[in-house]
Amino acid sequence: MPRPGGRGEGDGWIMTYVYDRATDGSVLAVLDAVDIERPPIAEIVMPRRVPHGLHGNWLPL
């Protein structure tokens, strides 16, 4: 996802689902695309496990 006012094509965030086998739960992790090794900027706990292979489309509002 592009960062508003970003300075290049890769300046933004990567959003990915992360599955935790220990809790059988998922989070949506938001990562800094420029510094991918940094801890997540945010983790959004999903109300239930997100199945592997889930995909979708992002549409502008």
Residues 6-21: tens digit of each pLDDT: 788 788 999 999 999 9
Calculate the alpha carbon distances from 4 to 16, 17, 27 in Å.
19, 23, 24
In terms of Cβ atoms closer than 10 Å to its own Cβ (0-12, 13-18, 19+), residue 28 is middle
Distance from CA of residue 59 to its chain's centroid? Answer: 16
* Domain-located, residue 4: no
* Domain-located, residue 8: no
Q: How many CB atoms lie within 10 A of CB 34?
A: 15
Distance, in Å, from the CA atom of 47 to the CA atom of 25, rounded to the nearest integer, reads 8
* Domain-located, residue 56: no
* Domain-located, residue 6: no
* Domain-located, residue 38: yes
pTM, 2 dp? 0.75
* Domain-located, residue 37: yes
**How many structural domains are present in the chain?**
1
Q: How many CB atoms lie within 10 A of CB 50?
A: 15
* Domain-located, residue 61: no
User: What domain range is 32 assigned to?
Assistant: 13-45
Inform me whether the pLDDT recorded for 58 exceeds 70: no
* Domain-located, residue 2: no
